[in-house]
Structure 1
Amino acid sequence: MSERMDVQVRAGGEGDLTALTDIYNHYIRETPITFDINPITPDERRPWLLSHPEDGPHRLLVAQSAGDGRVLGYATSSPFRPKAAYATSVETSIYLAPGSSGRGVGTLLYTALFEALAGEDVHRAYAGVTLPNEASIRIHRRFGFQQIGVYEEVGRKFGAYHDVAWLEKRLS
């Protein structure tokens, strides 16, 4: 692991919206990791932000540099599916700012997220990982996720089809 930063993990809020949108737009423009195709504005991203309150099973946690206050990344737990019977399942994800990987930021975010979820009525966590993405597979496995399947060529981005691995973590 490279140099570790002094990082604070906290609940995300309105003041983070531009930085979070910038991070996400990097993945839209530069990678197949998200299947969104067109960059979004902070106003378009606001409903997503507001769907993650400070408590409950659907969280948004932000990693912030203690030195300069820069947002280094975020982790979320979001509804897995909209139907009521899925309420005890969440989909989790991590997005790191360019240059922030390999420093333990993702580990800090997921540690805090799963500590927060421990007090919630959440039975399973799921993660969809566009392949190949060894760093994402590695961190999910480190946190106890097991691969349960692959959707083959489920999305097309940058002129190529991409597989998505689905991983599951038992929480209760």
Structure 2
Amino acid sequence: MPQEPTEVQVRPGDEADLGALTEIYNHYVRETAITFDTVPFLPEERRRWLLSHPKDGPHRLMVAQAGNSGKPDILGYATSGPLRAKPAYATSVEVSVYCDPRAAGRGVGTLLYRSLFAALEGEDLHRAYAGIALPNAASVRLHERFGFRHIGTYAEVGRKFHRYWDVAWYELPLGPRD
């Protein structure tokens, strides 16, 4: 069982985390509409995703772990990645957080976002965006706690588990204002 959030360390992710991160993500693929991926991944299939998050720059991967000796217990992760591929979007990122179901509701998501946004300070970023498949009251609360504001909802934009899901979009200003 994961330890309490006061004993959680947050650090940049690395290749040694790939198996645990894939396992956490696959839970959401199999069991929820939180992600619109529909087929679980093998760790090798997620390696490119992991490597797209270096330890510096605007696209980061932060990992929460309990314990610091032996095999750490990975509790979740938060990422920032490209919002869109076109160059004019470079100062915007899409952020997300995924917690091991055993760690949900224990403050791990808050610790992860706090660390992610601290790591992004000083980067040439203007906005962060988060898409939340609805309903997901816990994710809405987390994002609003960090100052995100709702900017719109795509109605029935994704189909998973034989039904359509809405996605609410949230925005957070980052960095200095031009």
TM-score range, shorter chain: over 0.9
Partner of residue 95, structure 1: 98
- Offset of residue 22 of structure 1: 0.2
- List alignment gaps of at least 5 residues for structure 2: none
Distance in 1 between the 2:6 and 2:66 partners?
7
The aligned residue for residue 37 of structure 2 is: 36
Q: How many residues align?
A: 171
Counterpart in 2 of 1:60? Answer: 61
In the alignment, which residue of structure 2 is the partner of 1:123? 126
Measured on the aligned residues, the alpha-carbon RMSD in Å equals 1.3
SS in 1 for 2:140: helix
The gaps in structure 1 that reach 5 residues or longer are none
1:99 CA drift (Å): 1.1
- 1:132 aligns to 2:146 (yes or no): no
Q: In structure 1, the residue corresponding to 2:103 is in which secondary structure? A: coil
TM-score, normalised relative to structure 1:
0.96
Distance (whole Å) between structure 1 residues aligned to residue 33 and residue 110 of structure 2: 22
Shift of 1:4: 3.7
- In structure 2, the CA distance between the partners of 1:4 and 1:10, relative to structure 1 (3 Å rule), is closer
**What's the TM-score once normalised by structure 2's chain length?**
0.93
CA-CA distance at 1:69 after TM superposition: 1.4
Would you say the 8 A contact 1:59–1:77 is kept in 2? yes
Deviation at 1:5, TM superposition (A): 4.5
For 2:78 and 2:8, the matched residues in 1 are separated by 14
Question: Structure 1 runs of 4+ off > 4 angstroms?
Answer: none
Q: Is the 8 A contact 1:5 1:103 kept in 2?
A: no
Letter aligned with residue 12 of structure 1: G
